[in-house]
Structure 1
Amino acid sequence: MNNIANRIDRLPTTPMLKKILFLTGIGWMFDAMDQGMVSGVMAAIGTDWGLNTGQIGLLGSSGMLGMILGAALSGMAADKWGRRNIVMCTLIIYGIASGLSGFAVNYPMLLVLRFCTGFGLGGELPAASTLISEYSPKKIRGRNVIILESFWAWGWILAALVAYLLIPVYGWRVAFWAGAVPALFAAYLRKAVPESPRYLEIAGKHAEADQLVRIMEQQANIESLPVHADEYIYNKETKDHLSLGDLWSKKYIRTTIVLWIIWIGINFGYYGFVLWTPSLLMAQGFALVKSFEFTLIMCLAQLPGYFSAAYFVEKIGRKKVLALYFAGTALAAWLFGHAGTTTQVLVYGCLLYFFSLGAWGCVYSYTPEVYPTAARASGAGWAAAFGRIGAFAAPLVVPVIYNTYGEKTGYGYIFALLTAVFAMVAIVVAIFGKETMGRSLEEISQ
């Protein structure tokens, strides 16, 4: 193991790590707020502009298409130019595009702006999770990344409040403006986030990496380890970046296949229900305001989902938590699709959000751990990009099923499909997944 990695893994939670986690999480929260508001504004825009279900679905998918390209390019860029720079730039792109979406004068203009918003969002998430993973000691690494992902829940709660309180009164444009301004402010705050020491080490910037780790060691009252000459030999040997083809080499092919199945499964399943929840509830007889109210209540269930996953991921491991929470999501999707009363809609909906967001947190925790530092952001970015194909397809598939089989029957078929997807991912993880709990990042990728 190299010197920087060994020193980071000895650390407890330090004030510097808490600061980095919080500032990165704030940006993550406003990303989530934008995604959450899309589900609310889709129904309102559809009514305002007289869009059919196919056009509404394309509106959701345009953002996902941007996320595919953003994730693929930003991962490679973060391995080349650093995690911090990409995290900053992508959040600025997202914030500007989201704000301009509120000024869209027609449907084509909004499609383009939603694509740009998705590009920024898709680019930020892999780089941000990689940054937190690389800053965290091995004993709390998984927990920290899930805590980062838990900011997503707060973003969705804010989005649900905006949808519930503002959209019915002021219209859908205010939702985009409400998310853009704080997102740009969060980008400004992120200027205080330093670069990953592990990245600096493989980039040959040993003094900068040493200084950052030394600050955390001083905060924790831990004496720095001596640097040996052979540590820099290790870094020189791993300095070259891995290509997409390398991710499919014999050494990493199993890891890549499992990871990509996880990503496309959770994206298709999650965006298959979350973007359409208000619209689907309206079709079942609930008013728009009531559907926003139900969505807000369901969003609150995300928080215990994240926090429970953050606890168990360091107790029983990533593999078991992933399999358990995907299986729970599959069961909840089936129950939600067969809910017959208001109480059942709320209870099963809360279970669906609880398990699915707990699974999301563990996916983000697991993803940066399975590749070496030289390819960590690229590996995470390509997995996210492939997964977003599922997110792109889901908003298009859902209305096709819905229109083909009618409101009642189609509603059940949609959630039967989502159940099958979540169950398949649970089985793949349980059989082929890799356990990474308690191991250094360098050890896992050997």
Structure 2
Amino acid sequence: MSSSPALSPRGGRLALLVVGLCWLAVLFDGLDMFIYGSVLPHLLETRTFGLTADQAGDLGSYATFGMLVGALTAGTVADRIGRKQLMTGCVTLFSLASGICAVSGGVAVFGLGRTLAGVGLGGLLPTAISMVSDYARGGRVALTIGLLMTAHHTGGILSAYVAKWLVEPVGWRAAFWVCVLPLLFVPVLLRFLPESLSFLVAKGRDAEARALADRYGVELPAATGEKSAADRWDALLGLFRGGEWLQTLLYWLASFGGLLLVYGVATWLPTLMRGEGYELGSALTFVVVFNLGGIVGMLAAGRAADRFGAPRVSALWFALTAAGVHLLGVHLATGVTMVVVFLTGVFLNSAQTMVYATVSLRSAPDNRATAVGWTSGMGRFGAVFGPWLGGQLLAAGHGDRGFTAFALAGVSSTVFIGVAALRSARQPRTGGDREAVAAAR
């Protein structure tokens, strides 16, 4: 990734514009991602479409499978059509897909809508991160990306309020119609969001790049050559040479468990809390508190990693997450449970990011992006498996074991990332790459 351009005061206004627009886009991304989990207790209680718990788990996995497809193809598509066009296309896709869910008359059509929404959701986030990295003020890239990531959890908070305000009085379809409203934001993106300077330079569109740079007082990034397919294949093989295969496998397994936790809990938290005896309103409030913890965790994790080291923080965070998730299966006083949910959100939503930080820290600079990207990609299979697992447990009448199963995923990630860190402790550090870490999120 090219370095961020130096910015004048006018360039600072451009950075604010880009970050603001991308923040809103990621907010809508979070709303659409979390809305299914927020309305799921109602769908199951009313037996909408005759929905069963195992079918509900499958539907949750459809969206995360779509996210896997979107994330893996986003870079290639963005290189062809530009980051701005891809962002607007992703917002359009997941908004229209929510409309399909809103008008669906059965599980099949609803599942199609969630799958298409997942493709848009998976493609948007890495593209938005690339955009803000391109325009972030010098030395503030990590801070800017951390700020952007808070939008995703803010969208999760918004999803809980949408469900609380609309589902009971109006119906679950109204919640998905709200998720269609980001279509109104698409013309704003087309009108005001500038194209990535790195993309313009890479494509030889020098006149456009220079005009934009002159308008806002931005220094153009240096042109970089694109890697060939052979170069990318060689970078991937490098992850398995010289005994590195075991280290790579440990990172992938830790990432699998981490994203299983993230998306499993995000999908099933309200339903599992209902199963523990909490009222629907309280169960949705837990979603708000969980995502508030996620915002705090995203802002705090980087500082902790800088001080104590990403591998240590990652292992500790996963262990604390496992303990917190397990405690959620115990019916405690509501106030105590709120604290546990908040702390679980703090650790869970940043533990996975610390896996990427660890991989980045222990990778050679010329292979770092490949190592982080593939760790993220393999982990996304866990994102598909997590919602399915929760549905299977509920369908088998073992909903009370859902939190225990997710806690075990946290324990496994603790072990995998801990062993990987110990094996590489004697290797020299290559220095972290926070942009690559955050881009994999």
Contact in 2 for aligned 1:168/1:289 (Cα 8 Å): no
Q: Relative to 1, partners in 2 of residues 1:293 and 1:7: Cα closer, same or farther, differing over 3 Å? A: closer
- The letter for the 2-side match of 1:193 is L
Distance 1:348 1:209 in 2: 49
Contact in 2 for aligned 1:297/1:350 (Cα 8 Å): yes
The farther-off stretch of 81-90 and 20-29 is 81-90
Structure 2 residue runs of 5 or longer lacking an equivalent are 437-441
Contact in 2 for aligned 1:157/1:299 (Cα 8 Å): yes
Equivalent residues in 2 for 1:26-41 (5 A)?
26-41=24-39
Q: 1:187 — aligned with what?
A: 186
The farther-off stretch of 58-67 and 410-419 is 410-419
Distance 2:109 2:364 in 1: 39
Secondary structure of 2:180's aligned partner: helix
Give the Å deviation of 1:392: 1.1
Give the Å deviation of 1:318: 5.6
TM-score between both structures, scaled by the size of structure 2: 0.81
- The letter for the 2-side match of 1:291 is A
Give the Å deviation of 1:295: 2.4
Q: 1:248 — aligned with what?
A: 236
- The letter for the 2-side match of 1:176 is F
Give the Å deviation of 1:390: 1.0
Q: 1:93 — aligned with what?
A: 93
Q: Relative to 1, partners in 2 of residues 1:416 and 1:385: Cα closer, same or farther, differing over 3 Å? A: closer
Distance 2:364 2:430 in 1: 13
Distance 1:81 1:259 in 2: 32
The farther-off stretch of 282-291 and 415-424 is 415-424
Q: 1:25 — aligned with what?
A: 23
Contact in 1 for aligned 2:259/2:382 (Cα 8 Å): yes
Is 1:414 matched up with 2:402? no
Could you tell me which of 262, 278, 287 is aligned with 2:279? 287
- The letter for the 2-side match of 1:98 is S
**Cα shift readout 1:229-267 (whole Å, capped 9, x = no counterpart):** xx76xx34x464677634413279769767645543321
Q: 2:268 — aligned with what?
A: 276
**Cα shift readout 1:316-355 (whole Å, capped 9, x = no counterpart):** 7766654554444234223334454333321111111112
Contact in 2 for aligned 1:23/1:186 (Cα 8 Å): no
Give the Å deviation of 1:136: 2.9
Secondary structure of 1:102's aligned partner: helix
Q: 1:132 — aligned with what?
A: 132
Secondary structure of 2:139's aligned partner: coil
Distance 2:312 2:214 in 1: 35
Distance 1:287 1:140 in 2: 43
Is 1:358 matched up with 2:343? no
Give the Å deviation of 1:383: 5.2
Q: CA RMSD in A?
A: 3.9
**Cα shift readout 1:258-292 (whole Å, capped 9, x = no counterpart):** 76455433211111212111111111112223311
The farther-off stretch of 303-312 and 4-13 is 4-13
Q: Relative to 1, partners in 2 of residues 1:310 and 1:190: Cα closer, same or farther, differing over 3 Å? A: farther
Q: Relative to 1, partners in 2 of residues 1:412 and 1:300: Cα closer, same or farther, differing over 3 Å? A: closer
Is 1:423 matched up with 2:414? yes
Q: How much identity, in percent, do the aligned residues show?
A: 25
- The letter for the 2-side match of 1:413 is T
Give the Å deviation of 1:62: 1.2
Q: 2:328 — aligned with what?
A: 336
The farther-off stretch of 130-139 and 110-119 is 130-139
TM-score between both structures, scaled by the size of structure 1: 0.80
Structure 1 residue runs of 5 or longer lacking an equivalent are 442-446
Contact in 1 for aligned 2:94/2:121 (Cα 8 Å): yes
Contact in 1 for aligned 2:32/2:94 (Cα 8 Å): no
Contact in 2 for aligned 1:333/1:418 (Cα 8 Å): no
The number of equivalent residue pairs is: 424
Q: Relative to 1, partners in 2 of residues 1:321 and 1:209: Cα closer, same or farther, differing over 3 Å? A: farther
Equivalent residues in 2 for 1:392-403 (5 A)?
392-402=384-394
- The letter for the 1-side match of 2:118 is G
Contact in 2 for aligned 1:284/1:407 (Cα 8 Å): no
Secondary structure of 1:301's aligned partner: helix
Contact in 2 for aligned 1:66/1:115 (Cα 8 Å): yes
**Cα shift readout 1:133-191 (whole Å, capped 9, x = no counterpart):** 2333562212211111110121011101111221122111111111221x212332222
Distance 1:336 1:12 in 2: 49
Contact in 1 for aligned 2:84/2:194 (Cα 8 Å): yes
Give the Å deviation of 1:414: 1.9
- The letter for the 2-side match of 1:188 is P
